[in-house]
Amino acid sequence: MDRNKALGIVKQQLTEHRYLHTIGVMETAIELANKYGADPQKAELAAIFHDYAKFRPKEEMKKIIIEQNMSQDLLVHNTELWHAPVGAFLVETEVGINDHEVLNAIKYHTSGRMNMSILDKVIFLADYIEPGRHFPGVEEVREIAKYDLDTALILSLRNTIQFLLGKTQPVYPDTVLTYNALLLGKKEEKKGE
């Protein structure tokens, strides 16, 4: 699907602010894809559609999670997580994109997952560091992303987990598993040097 058509579809689903965020994620994802060896066209497409379901009614998303037998864990955690897996489902069923790499990158862009593909990592990180994001710690992650994808991911996950703990909110299990897997992978990498 060409960029303009994809942006036209997604613009109808988003607020102007979220659409500008999507443009930032798209540009960042293409840059990261080129740097780290992901397919830039798939990165572009996943970035454009990553927030496709962001503004769907909570009841609609809850119904999809139940009917599609998605992880029931989602229902007991923050509803902010819902738009990612629901978005992947809707991008496939409503838009007709059936590339599973693209759909997985959309599905896991909020939680992460163990054994993330390079494309998964690119979309997760692009969403976190796009130029419109301004919060404590983002600049450090942006700098590290210039030379080390996994370390940037570890830091972004750590920041997210600390933020949630500081607000006494539960941390989604996949996020903790992703953090641990990446951290242990880095330790193994250092042992091998």
- The structural domain count of the chain equals 1
DSSP character at residue 131: T
User: What would the pLDDT profile of 5-61 be if each residue is shown by its tens digit?
Assistant: 999 999 999 999 999 999 999 999 999 999 999 999 999 999 999 999 999 999 999
- Tell me the DSSP string of 42-67: HHHHHHHHTTTTTTS-HHHHHHHHHH
List the domain range (segments joined by +) for residue 157. 3-191
For 139-183, the pLDDT digits (tens) are 999 999 999 999 999 999 999 999 999 999 999 999 999 999 999
pLDDT of residue 192: 75
pLDDT for residue 193 is more than 90: no
| Interatomic CA distance for residues 136 and 96, integer angstroms | 38
pLDDT per residue as tens digits for the range 77-131: 989 999 999 999 999 999 999 999 999 999 999 999 999 999 999 999 999 999 9
The CATH number that applies at residue 155 is 1.10.3210.10
